[in-house]
Amino acid sequence: MILRKILRKIISWSMTDLQNVIFDKTVMFAPYSQVSNSKIGKRSSIGRYSKVTHTDIGMYCSISWDVTINAVSHDYTLISTHSFLKRPDLGGFVEEDNRHYDKVTIGNDVWIGAHSVILPGVKIGDGAIIGAGSIVTRDVESYSIVAGNSAKFLRWRFDKQIISELKEIKWWLWEDSKIKHNINFFTTPLTMKSIQELKANNCTDHL
């Protein structure tokens, strides 16, 4: 069983394209994912066939399959939108790669649904949800749910009071031992009562 898990991980890594990526050892990369020039936080996961570049991703983020983050823009004000004017490997018309990337920033505990596209420069707040198939062209607020092409606000995940408490708690900074100690907080629907019980047990300090 252990050997099988090791082999599965080796095979998965062999089918993953990582270039200049800083990531925590708990990060999961699905086969055929491509990540470059990015940072990825604790326990975040990148789905199969997803492509990520020039992006900072926080902790506990769930990036589904076939997601594109920081899709390259093409300058439509020039005579051609083709990349041969920016890449030396496309005919040798330029000496250096002069493509420009506006970094995408993704907070913590963010869920991005399958087939979504996040455009350059977008900032996604903690706890946000991006619906499957969305094209995200502008910043997304913390704990909001957006979807569509282009993505529009649908609703908040929780009411304002709970969101305010979650921004203060920042549970993703907790050590594993603290999460295990308060596992009921994660396995039942979130309410102000459960948050108050958590605070009453003096568990909101960051370890």
| Catalytic residue annotation | 74
Q: Residue 55's CB: how many other CB atoms inside 10 A?
A: 24
Which token pair is 101?
A: 């990337």
**3-class secondary structure per residue, the chain:** CHHHHHHHHHHHHHCCEEEEEEECCCCEECCCCEEEEEEECCCCEECCCCEEECEEECCCCEECCCCEECCCCCCCCCCCCCHHHCCCCCCCCCCCCCCCCCCEEECCCCEECCCCEECCCCEECCCCEECCCCEECCCECCCEEEEEECEEEEEECCCHHHHHHHHHHCHHHCCHHHHHHCHHHHHCCCCHHHHHHHHHCCCCCCC
Tell me if 98 sits within 8 A of 86, measured CB to CB. Answer: yes
